[in-house]
Structure 1
């Protein structure tokens, strides 16, 4: 079976550029394993709260984003604690923070709450 997953660093670099092109500053706040690291997104919507998503696969092997916090968002300190806990468990995890003043960010795959 051929592995067709995109290298983690390549995906992160491309996503940061895409966010910038869409007027949403994005920053890599933690680097993980370049080839196989997991990816966590921290979407800071400022007054509307912070959303966190972890890249995952569904039962059919398709990419999804798993919501890690409340759907309505949470305070930045709570999101930061959630991210720190994930990083403590998995040091290969990439963390990308996106500044989304317009609350318009949409991930590149479906969102799951499970």
Structure 2
């Protein structure tokens, strides 16, 4: 059983803060199972966006884990490209969560990133 999105987001924000970076909830989605998107702002005009990985990317031994993929073709992309991508996702699914992390090193703090 997967953690509710709200609980996972709260834990993720806390983890980022413990590591010395800043994280903020930009958009609250569906509490139970809203998709979570992570934007990493490098504070230099560039950003990365991580989106939920497709079902085929999940580890069958750990089906409850959340996995992410890099959402933009160019990494890092411009802030404008990252914001445009997130705006398209909101139009597609208004129940998404968006967490923004500010970290000059570009660390994602995500356990599972599928390439």
**What's the TM-score once normalised by structure 2's chain length?**
0.85
Counterpart in the other structure of 1:9: 6
Question: Which structure 2 segments of 5+ residues have no match?
Answer: 60-65
RMSD, aligned CA: 1.7
CA pair 48-77 structure 1, distance change in 2 beyond 3 A: closer
Matched residues in 2 for 1:69 and 1:41: separation?
12
Matched residues in 1 for 2:36 and 2:51: separation?
6
| 1:28 and 2:25 are equivalent in the alignment | yes
1:16 aligned counterpart, secondary structure: helix
Counterpart in the other structure of 1:50: 47
Matched residues in 2 for 1:14 and 1:39: separation?
13
Higher relative contact order (CA 8 A, sep 6+): 2
Q: Give the superposition deviation at 1:16.
A: 0.4
| Count of equivalent residues | 109
The runs of at least 4 consecutive aligned structure 1 residues that moved more than 4 Å come to none
Contact 2:53–2:114, Cα closer than 8 Å, also in 1: no
Matched residues in 2 for 1:11 and 1:58: separation?
18
Matched residues in 2 for 1:28 and 1:106: separation?
15
Question: Which structure 1 segments of 5+ residues have no match?
Answer: none
